[in-house]
Amino acid sequence: MCLGRFSAVNFQVLGHSNTMLVLLGGWAFLGDTITGKKLCGMMLAVSGMVGKASSNQSLQPPTHLASNPKSTIESATANDRLETCGYLDLLEDESLAPLTKVAQRWIYRQQHPDPSTCGERKYVVMGNEVLGHGLGSILHVTGTVLNAALRTRRQLVYHDQLGKQLVGEGCGRGEPHKNLLCLFEPPSACGKEHVTSKNSIEYVFFKSGVEVFGNNLLIAEFRTAPPFLHKQLKEHFEALDVELSYQFVKYWWRAQSAACLARLNGKMQQAVAQLRRHADMFVPLTPVQQQGNLASLYPLPPGTIHVHVRHGDKATEMELLQLEEYLKPAEHQLVNRNPLHFKKFAFLSTDDIAVIQDAASVVLPAWSA
C-alpha cells in the first residue's frame, strides 16, 4: 500500500513509526518492559522524525508566494534564485526526477567558475546550425553540447545567432543581442567575449550519432548523461535494487539539461508574471472558478499536474495522441501511486483548440482543469 507512494526517506520514517507503535502497544496492553535501550532507540527515532518535519517545513515556499501572485516572482530575490539555482531549496525531492537537485547544482558549479578565471578557460560554442528548429529542438541539441562541454571541462557559450528566429531584434526591448539570451540565463559565468580561436571549438552539426565540432574534431555519442551524473544515478538505483536502462538515462539527462538551460532571465520572469495575472489567459474547463479569481491560481495549487498536448507539426513525425492517453498514465503513475502528493487537478496547455473543446465536454468530469 505504501511502496511507490512515498520517498525512500519518508518510507523509513513510516517504518520507524510502526516499530514505535508496536513497542508502545506491547508495553500498554501486553505488559512488556520498556528497557533503557528501547527507550533510547525511540527517542532517537522521534528526534529524526522531528528533524525530517523541520527540513520539509523549511523547503516550503514563503506564505506570501502562495497567496499573492504579484510578489517574489518580480523581486530581485526570485531572480537571483533562478539565476543561481537557489529555487531548488523551495522544492521537495518527491516532486522531482531522481537526483534533480544533485544534477542541477553540479552543472551550475561546473559552468559558473570564478569570473576572474574566464580568460584561462576553454570553450564550446553552440553554433547556429539549428536555425530552422523550434525551441524544443534547440534545447535538445544544446543539451547534448552541454554534455560535451562538461565531459571535456569546457564552458558552454552561445553563438550570436542561436535561436534568433524565436526572438525579435534586440529581444524586442532594445538589448544588444538577438539569441537565446533574450529568454534565458547565460549557460556559463563566462561569455562570448572570452572566446578566441585558440581556446574554443564550435558545434557544427549532428549526423549519424556523432557530434561534429570545428577543426574536424569528432566527439561521438553524447546521448547519455555526463560520467559523474551517470555514476550517481547508477549508485542511487543500485541501492533500490533497480537496473538502469539506456533510455531512462538518455531522457533523464535530456530533462536535466533542458531544465538548466531554460532558466528564464529576470526580464522574461517579469513578462511571464504579467501574463499570468491576466484572467483571460486562463480558460476554466471545470468548476475551478469556485476558487476565486483565476489569476490568483498562480502559483498553481499543490499537487497540480501539468499536461501539455502537442499536435500541430508533430503529426509529420508520429501518430498524435488524444488527451485521454495523457491523463490515464498521469492518473495511474502519479495520482494513484501518490495520492497524498498529486491531485486530479490539471493545468492543460496545447497547440490544438480541439483538445480544449474535447476536454471541456468529454474527458474531464473527474478532474479540475
* Domain chopping of the chain, boundaries: 8-58, 69-261, 279-363
HEC sequence for 9-20: HHHHHHHHHHHH
Question: pLDDT of 136-189, one tens digit each?
Answer: 888 888 898 899 899 889 999 998 888 888 887 778 777 777 788 999 999 999
Averaged pLDDT, 3-11: 54
Please state, for a pLDDT cut of 90, what percent of the chain lies above it: 21
Q: Which pLDDT score, from 0 to 100, does residue 360 have?
A: 72
Whether 121 has a pLDDT exceeding 90, the answer reads: yes
HEC sequence for the chain: CCCCCCCHHHHHHHHHHHHHHHHHHHHHHCCCCCCHHHHHHHHHHHHHHHHHHHHHHHCCCCHHHHHCCCCCCCCHHHHHHHHHCHHHHHCCHHHCCCCHHHHHHHHHHHHCCCHHHHHHCCEEEECCCCCCCCHHHHHHHHHHHHHHHHHCCCEEEECCCCCHHHCCHHHHCCCCCCCHHHCECCCCCCCHHHCCCCCEEEEEEEECCEEEECCCCEEECCCCCCHHHHHHHHHHHHHCCCCCCHHHHHHHHHHHHHHHHCCECHHHHHHHHHHHCCHHHCCCCCCHHHHCCHHHHCCCCCCCEEEEECCHHHHHCCCCCCHHHHHHHHHHHHHCCCCCCCCCEEEEEECCHHHHHHHHHHHCCCCEC
pTM: 0.67
pLDDT tier, 256 (very low <50, low <70, confident <90, very high otherwise): very high
Closest CA to 15 of 234, 6, 149: 6
The whole-chain average pLDDT of the chain stands at: 77
Question: pLDDT of 72-85, one tens digit each?
Answer: 334 445 555 656 67
C-alpha distance across the termini of the chain, in Å: 28
C-alpha cell at 292: 476565486
pLDDT tier, 63 (very low <50, low <70, confident <90, very high otherwise): very low
pLDDT tier, 325 (very low <50, low <70, confident <90, very high otherwise): confident
Whether 51 has a pLDDT exceeding 90, the answer reads: no
Q: Which pLDDT score, from 0 to 100, does residue 118 have?
A: 95
